[in-house]
Amino acid sequence: MVADFQNRGKLPVCALVSGSIFMRDDFTEEVKRILASRVGYLCSNPDCRARTSGPQIDATKALNVGVAAHITSAAEGGPRHNPLLSPEERRHPDNGIWLCQNCAKLIDNDTSRYTEKLIRAWREIAEDHALTLIGKTATRESNPAAESESQRKLRAVFPWIGRTVKLSQMTTGKAVYMVGPVMGSSYAQLLDCTEFYVTVGTTGSGAWSRSVSLSNIEISFDNQQRCLELQEYHR
Residues that bind Zn ion (CB under 5 A): 43, 45, 48, 50, 100, 103
Supply the minimum distance, in Å, between the C-beta of residue 163 and Zn ion.
36
Task: Tell me how far, at minimum, the Cβ of 137 lies from Zn ion, in Å.
Answer: 25
In the complex with Zn ion, which residue's Cβ is closer, 13 or 43? 43
For the bound state, the minimum distance from the C-beta of residue 100 to Zn ion, rounded and expressed in Å, comes to: 3
Residue 50 or 212: the one with the smaller Cβ distance to Zn ion is 50
Instruction: Residue 163: name the closest of 212, 234, 222, 216 by CA.
Output: 222
Residue number, 109 or 169, with CB nearest to Zn ion: 109
**What 3 state SS string does 202-229 have?**
ECCCCCEEEEEEHHHEEEEEECCCCEEE
Give the residue with the Cβ less far from Zn ion, 48 or 161.
48
CB of 99 to Zn ion, least distance (A): 5
> Cβ of residue 123: shortest distance to Zn ion, in angstroms?
13
Q: What is the CA radius of gyration of the chain?
A: 25
State whether residue 125 is helix, strand or coil.
helix
From first CA to last CA, the distance across the chain in angstroms is: 50
Quote the DSSP letter at residue 28: P
Q: Are 94 and 82 in contact (CB under 8 A)?
A: no
Asked if 80 and 72 count as a contact pair (C-beta separation under 8 A), the reply is yes
Strand bridging mode 53-55 / 227-233: unpaired
**Closer CB to Zn ion, 22 or 41, in the complex:** 41
Bridge partners of 211, per DSSP, are 199
Q: In the bound complex, what is the minimum distance in angstroms from residue 48's beta carbon to Zn ion? A: 3
Task: Choose between 22 and 122: whose C-beta lies nearer to Zn ion.
Answer: 122
